[in-house]
Amino acid sequence: MGRHAISEPSAWVSRFAGLVPADGTVLDLACGAGRHSRLFLARGNKVVALDIDVSDVTDLAPNPKIEIIEADLENGRPFPLQGRHFAGIVVSRYLYRPIFPALIEALAPGGTLIYETFAKGNEAFGRPRNPDHLLDPGELLEAVCGHLRVLAYEDLTEGEPRPAAIQRLCARRKDKA
């Protein structure tokens, strides 16, 4: 499992995975070892797994329902999936604020965004500590305000598998009229 120690899907992502139609394509952004790509493939979805290093998902390459893209989202280039739309977008343990608008744009009408990452306060528990990688209070809500309908949101400190300050969001893009 290479550089990624967590192999089980996030409980938050698992909880809301059913909101993505089984025939829809899911973007697993910053996919790591592909724990969420694997979850959605098992549900029958097509998956686009994107990360700066895709070496931990190469075992999935023979599956005709996966597209693996190696891309650096933080290099100043345009979002690599510009013009594509997804029934679901999953982001877990990754934060790069400049791509928020691109993610919202990439969500198909009626599509679901499932997002969770570290928040300010996490520096008391360990990594990440850099404020560039920690959400401000309510920041995830503000990022989607006016664009998506929030279905669930959490901003909390929890203790499993280790103490962490986390924000989580599940939101749906409004259907176009």
Tell me the pLDDT tens digit for each residue of 65-74: 999 999 999 9
Amino acid at 104: I
pLDDT-above-90 percentage for the chain? 76
- Cross-strand bridge partners of residue 112: 88, 172
pLDDT-above-70 percentage for the chain? 94
User: Is residue 106 within 8 Å of 130, Cβ to Cβ?
Assistant: no
Pairwise pLDDT comparison (124 vs 115), residue with the higher score: 115
Q: In whole numbers, what is the pLDDT of the chain averaged over residues?
A: 91
pLDDT at residue number 133:
82
Q: Is the pTM of this model over 0.85?
A: yes
- Rounded to whole angstroms, how far apart are CA atoms 78 and 87? 21
Burial class (CB in 10 A: 0-12, 13-18, 19+), 37: buried
pLDDT at residue number 160:
66
pLDDT at residue number 149:
96
Helix, strand, coil percentages (3-state) for the chain, rounded to 5, are 25, 35, 40
Domains, the chain: 11-173 (3.40.50.150)
